[in-house]
Structure 1
Amino acid sequence: MFTTGQWIFAGTFLVAFIITMIYVYRKDLALHKKYYKGSYWILVGFLAFIGILFFIKYFVKDNS
């Protein structure tokens, strides 16, 4: 399906992308802590909302 060259390119691209993302994240870590503190509550609220939807779907489904 894929040639050896394509697999090599994909692997090197993935490694370079991950290294770059780690570098950029660490570089901006101070800004993230300053401007995005408390953003975990949004994630908690979103996951709670999804959980409530699954709860409603499970208990209100039609049993016919």
Structure 2
Amino acid sequence: MLSSGQINFAICFIVAFVAVMIYVYRKDIKLHKTYYKGNYWVLIAFLSFIGLLFILKGFLKN
């Protein structure tokens, strides 16, 4: 089990990490819009592929 000190450290670390990530993303938002156009299509293709694998697994299991 984790001690209370370890849990407190983990919570503080997660909060600080998320805060820094939000700050960095906000700072670079213009660059993201310029260089990462169309990245949603890659995400859709990836999720579709994972969904297809689950469907095939269901069919082949029977």
TM interval, shorter chain, is: 0.7 to 0.9
1:37 partner SS:
coil
Residue type of the alignment partner of 2:54 = F
Partner residue of 1:31?
Answer: 31
Based on CA coordinates, which of the two structures has the bigger radius of gyration?
1
Bigger helix fraction:
2
**RMSD across aligned positions (CA):** 1.5
- How far the C-alpha of 1:45 sits from its partner, in A, is 0.8
2:19 partner SS:
helix
Identity %: 61
Higher mean Cα deviation, 49-58 or 33-42? 49-58
Residue type of the alignment partner of 2:5 = G
Write the distance in 2 (CA, Å) between the matches of 1:2 and 1:28. 37
1:1-64 aligned within 5 A: 1-61=1-61, 63=62
TM-score of the aligned structures, taking structure 1 as reference length: 0.78
> 5+ residue gaps in structure 2?
none
TM-score of the aligned structures, taking structure 2 as reference length: 0.80
> 5+ residue gaps in structure 1?
none
Number of residue pairs matched by the alignment = 62
